[in-house]
Structure 1
Amino acid sequence: MAIAETAPAVTAPAAEAPRRAWAQRLGVIVPAGLVALVALACFLGPLVLPIPQPTGGNIVDAYLPSFSAGHLLGTDPNGNDILARILYGGRNSLTVAIAVNVIGMAIGGSFGALSAYFGGTTDMLIMRVFDVLIAFPSLVLILAVAQSLGPSRINTILALGFFSIPAMARIARAATLSLCEQPFMAAAKLCGTPTRRMLLRHIAPNVAPQLLTFSILGMGLIIVIEGALSFLGLGIAPPAPSWGNMISEGQASLSATPMLVIWPSLMLFVTVLAFNLLGDALRSRWSSR
């Protein structure tokens, strides 16, 4: 009697492709939506929600619990609304992260692209300067620069922005070197395309996506460092709110009112996680192309 053999089920590659594409899209959509939600809450929330200002609270209203009348997340020791301080603190943290990345992309990206395009002595001089900066322990130097400049939002941006330039320069240089080997770049040079047009028309649009992906990955790290500086009193100075200085102030009464630390810590965690997931998803999409 013949034994019927069952052929193993084979999943066709054509059926797998839509699933992979949908998984990739979902990997971008979910963290991007979370980032957009946090940004909208921090930048537009105080304008549309009936919440008080983050400073100038009444000491009589100090230590109100969560879900109190007029104070959804309660109040801090100074009677300030915690929800208002979280939203305004998130606005400060996101503003710092965006400004630092803009500085790094504009200055570091430009120098990195110019270094790779011209090569030779120009490349050696520019990259040796950046190599020296990268060789130093960045966190120690950031603390030193922040200490010397003093605690404020603009000084935090300058301190972090200065040290974001070398990393952006290396990313732009590597991308430009790879781009210069492409046939269309050689054809553009043979046609006598001016240097300015080569940089703006051919190099910048192709290098920008890689810089943007790297900057999104770095957003979470910058927010964490800004929070650490504010926690140490070297970042955004009270009474201006920041997630870092809210955690620092809340630790004094952690055992009695843990929510003073939990709420800003939770917002910091969710925001950093969203940026990291979004950056990883974008990097995977670009590397697969």
Structure 2
Amino acid sequence: MAVADPTAGTPVPAAVAPAASRFRLLRYPDVAVPAGLLLLVVLACTAVPLLPGIPAPIGGSVLDSYLPAGSPGHLLGTDPNGNDILSRILHGGRSSLLVALSVNLIGLAIGGTLGALSGYVGGPLDTVIMRVLDVLIAFPSLVLTLAVAQSLGPSRLNTILALAFFSIPAFARIARAATLRLREQPFMAAAQLCGTSGRRILARHVAPNIAPQLITFGMLGAGIVMVIEGALSFLGLGIPPPAPSWGNMIAQGQQSLSATPMLVVWPCVALFVTVLACNLLGESLRDRWSGR
């Protein structure tokens, strides 16, 4: 005798569905194409520099400076210091991706936790957290980022800290808004009536359901972070030479822009493609997860 499923016909939040169902998004070209492009960039920047025969990004000879593209051992040529341009682009991409990933992880961990806690608990705690975040948002973030980077000094770690500080309020506000909508759902009330602790509700019900919004924002924010990191490096406040980054490569190349424009073009193309992939993937995930 068949037993009726008591949950039949009850809508299940999309974020609680099995993890395997989320990979079905890759069936859609608007998700698969930018995801594949971003994966290609990540693999190129992380795996290709480890292959034998790839020159080091620093330590070149000035006797090999300004070699044209297609020179033996230098596919894209060399820079004024004789360093291989392709190697520097790949290692610079690794730095940019690491900065974007680190900033988003810090913002997600701290801001997401504060926003979910604020939205779920409410009351005075919500007021205090959101007023503090409102104060941070009220300041011009780009100007303060430049000031923080200047005061801390140019380095990869300081760049991550300066950018992560201003990513926390954005993640927190998104997490809070999603949690407030989620708090009105029947399954949340059922979990509370069953005596489930607030910590368990946040971990088992709130976090999985607000994850899509935070991931989508993180993908869109990653492109912005890479652009700002490039701008800081261009101004000499980001990753300092001789360590490669797309920003300081552009700054170095603009000194001889009229004679060797490709020194600026190649890192600009790499930055453009990566940011475009992040933006397209973020927008596609937002549309798919929202049901459009």
CA contact (8 A) 1:24 1:281 kept: no
The unaligned stretches of length 5 or more in structure 1 are 1-20
Counting only pairs closer than 5 Å after superposition, residues 155-194 of structure 1 correspond to structure 2 as 155-194=158-197
Question: Which residue of 2 is the match for residue 31 of structure 1?
Answer: 34
Question: Which residue of 2 is the match for residue 259 of structure 1?
Answer: 262
Matched, 1:70 2:73: yes
Q: Which amino acid aligns with 2:175?
A: A
The SS at the match of 2:160 is helix
Shift of 1:196: 1.2
| Aligned partner (choices 115, 119, 125) of residue 112 of structure 1 | 115
The CA RMSD over aligned residues, in Å, is 1.3
How far, CA to CA, are the matches of 1:32 and 1:187 in structure 2? 37
User: Structure 1 pair 205/84, CA: closer, same or farther in 2 (3 Å)?
Assistant: same
Matched, 1:200 2:203: yes
- 1:128-185 CA distances to partner (integer Å, 9 max, x unpaired)? 0000100111100000000000000000000000100000000000000000000000
Matched, 1:148 2:168: no
**Percent identity (aligned):** 72
Shift of 1:22: 9.3
TM-score (norm: length of structure 1): 0.91
| Aligned partner (choices 226, 240, 243) of residue 237 of structure 1 | 240
CA contact (8 A) 1:24 1:285 kept: no
CA contact (8 A) 2:92 2:245 kept: yes
Question: Which residue of 2 is the match for residue 284 of structure 1?
Answer: 287
The unaligned stretches of length 5 or more in structure 2 are 1-23
Question: Which residue of 1 is the match for residue 251 of structure 2?
Answer: 248
TM-score (norm: length of structure 2): 0.90
Matched, 1:61 2:64: yes
How far, CA to CA, are the matches of 1:243 and 1:176 in structure 2? 37
- Indicate the structure (1 or 2) with the bigger Cα radius of gyration: 1
Shift of 1:39: 0.3
Matched, 1:98 2:101: yes
How far, CA to CA, are the matches of 2:255 and 2:161 in structure 1? 30
* More moved, 24-33 vs 106-115: 24-33
- Moved >3 Å (runs of 4+): 21-24
